[in-house]
Amino acid sequence: MLLLALIYLGAALIAVPVAKRLGFGSVLGYLVAGILIGPYAFSLVGDQTEIMHFAEFGVVMMLFLIGLELQPSRLWQLRHSIIGLGGLQVTLSTLALFSVCYFALNLAWQSALSIGLMLALSSTAIVIQSLKEKGWLKLDAGQSSFSVLLFQDIAVIPILALLPLLSFMPASAAEGAHQSLIYDWPAMGKVGISVAIIGAIILAGKYVSAPIFRYIAQTHMREIFTVFALFLVIAIALLMQSIGLSPALGTFLAGVVLAESEFRHELEADIEPFKGLLLGLFFVTVGASINFSLLIDNSVLVLMLVFALIAIKGLILIALAYVFSINKRQRLLFAIALAQGGEFAFVLLSVSRELRILSTEHANLVTLVVALSMVITPLLLMLYDHSQKFRKSVQPRYDDLNDIHESKHVIIAGYGRFGQVIGRLLKAQGYEVSVLDHSPTQIDLLRKFGIKVFYGDAARKELLDAAGANSAQLLVVAIDDVDKSTAIVELAKKHYPHLQLSVRARDRRHAYQLIRMGISTFNRETFDSAITLAVDSLKLLGHDDRNAARAGELFRAHDIESMKVLADVWGDDKSYGVAVKQRMEDLTQVLAQDSQASGKLSSSEPDEK
């Protein structure tokens, strides 16, 4: 056992960092590690079935952590995409794959339907991990993918209940092949106990868990908290499994309920290492389970089936992305992410083999197709990522200059979180505003909310001309790219000397550049919010409101004055260092003198009677 653990850990230590450095992502690294130590390469490990079942618990833990990040209100907002988008994906994919198996491959309808059902599901482990690594999980395509995966996890429950009805075995034998504690209960009884168990998990998470967590926290023993967190996840998974429900679904619901708990972050910190370890082990076992002998003997057929699976599911997903108005630039990402087979297919294959719905030969072939599709997915996502980077490097096609609205008051370049605040305030005061932004994703989002924004590079003179720079009163430069901001300022000062400029400074160095360019109206993007929070912090530390506000005002005025003084010596490290030190000493004296003056004033005031 220790030797086996050493082999798995060593393979991961070698393959994963290399894969990450080459830009392939950790998932592909684990898969390659599994292939290398598997029976068809260096043959360091044998059959992976038992280890894979153990490692699948990493998926359970992952869904628990996802639940912790997803509050009930957010889950309710996703209900339409979970039921509508997820339901249609499973239904249409099952029908399409069933048709191919039944009509093209001449399988019995029972076998064709079971294959269609299991291949309609996607890999929660690979999709979530890959999207999270690349920062795509919060995108429109990422959230839609998550909704579909959640519905698929729920769909496993009725699929498991349906499989015995497709069995070629006698009914009594089929019942013995797949047991749960309530397997022989009537249908209404199964539904009732399932609803009761799920309700109990939700109620316990909401009302029972918090006192227990507080009691354990009072012991100040971190390891006991970790033990209880693992106990909670394992107990829920075992309970769900014992009644034939998805363990992943149960732990996900528990995570959602605990998302509003004060112990949420502690739970995340305790479960995360175990999740990462088991999930990595799962990917390794998938790679090691690929039957290369079968692949070599039937290479053409296997590759055709893998291509057919990804193509069929991909086309259906693209169509659904169009119907459900997923961001058009992310529809391909949505399709690629979910086009593979999933880990639940291995579970359903095992049951189908036991029920003799599939022959051993067919089961081995489907296992190989699913495993290869899972290996290919990180590669496809990597190609997609590179294609997006290439597209960004190509000059974009901006809005037609004739379509751009000419403003007589204000032009705002950059309409992200910073520019939007400025725009809303100016519009509320009755000023006519023309907005320019160079981010296609931001443009699409703002246009969905009815905000009129034009796509283009504000560093182009013809675009500023079209936006009305020759007659406008003010240009607000609110973008966060320092080089682009500087280019726009230079262009405006050169060609539109009458145009007043208000500029967002990215940081102190950018502010120095703006001062040297003659810009007097600018603001560092985090400066005012930091001072406001500092003033509030002083109040929490016992300072009264007046003194705290006064300290903030003095600091702000001194720092703005310092900016103008230090801009003259910026670039000369020695002079700049001396000047900074002197300004800091001056600030300390100013604040100390003001504090003393305030103290004398307070002591001289008569007490209120």
pLDDT digits (tens, 9 = 90+) for 353-411: 878 899 989 988 998 999 899 889 989 998 998 887 766 554 455 555 555 556 678 99
* Nearest to 257, CA basis, from 67, 519, 521: 67
Residues 261-275: pLDDT tens digits? Answer: 777 777 887 888 888
Mean pLDDT, residues 94-117: 94
pLDDT at 118 exceeding the cut of 90: yes
Spatial contact of 113 and 95, defined as CB atoms under 8 Å apart: no
In three-state secondary structure terms, 51 is helix
Q: How many helices (H) and strands (E) does the chain have?
A: 29, 6
Q: Treating both helix axes as pointing N-terminal to C-terminal, what angle do 545-567 and 573-604 enclose, rounded to 10 degrees? A: 160
Kindly report, residue by residue over 249-258, the tens digit of the pLDDT.
788 888 888 8
> Tens digits of per-residue pLDDT, 35-75?
899 888 888 888 777 787 777 788 788 778 878 877 676 67
Q: What is the pLDDT of residues 583-608, one digit of tens each?
A: 777 667 766 766 666 654 444 444 44
Please determine, for residue 120, whether its predicted confidence score (pLDDT) is greater than 60. yes
Residue 501's beta-bridge partner residues? 475
- Supply the Cα-derived Rg of the chain in whole angstroms: 31
282 Cβ contact list (under 8 Å, min separation 6): 52, 55, 56, 58, 59, 125, 343
Task: Give the pTM.
Answer: 0.61
CB neighbourhood size of 234 (10 A): 15
Domain 2-173+262-387 indexed as CATH 1.10.357.10: no
CATH topology of domain 403-525: Rossmann fold (3.40.50)
Burial class of residue 250, CB neighbours in 10 A (0-12, 13-18, 19+): buried
Asked if 294 contacts 306 with a C-beta cutoff of 8 angstroms, the reply is: no
Question: Taking Cα atoms as reference points, which of 527, 502, 481, 338 lies closest to residue 423?
Answer: 502
Whole-angstrom distance, CA of residue 606 vs CA of residue 163: 86
Give pLDDT, residue 607. Answer: 47
The Cα–Cα gap between 52 and 281 comes to 8
Domain extent listing, the chain: 2-173+262-387, 403-525, 534-597
Q: Which helix (H) or strand (E) holds 523?
A: strand 522-524
Mean pLDDT of 456-471: 82
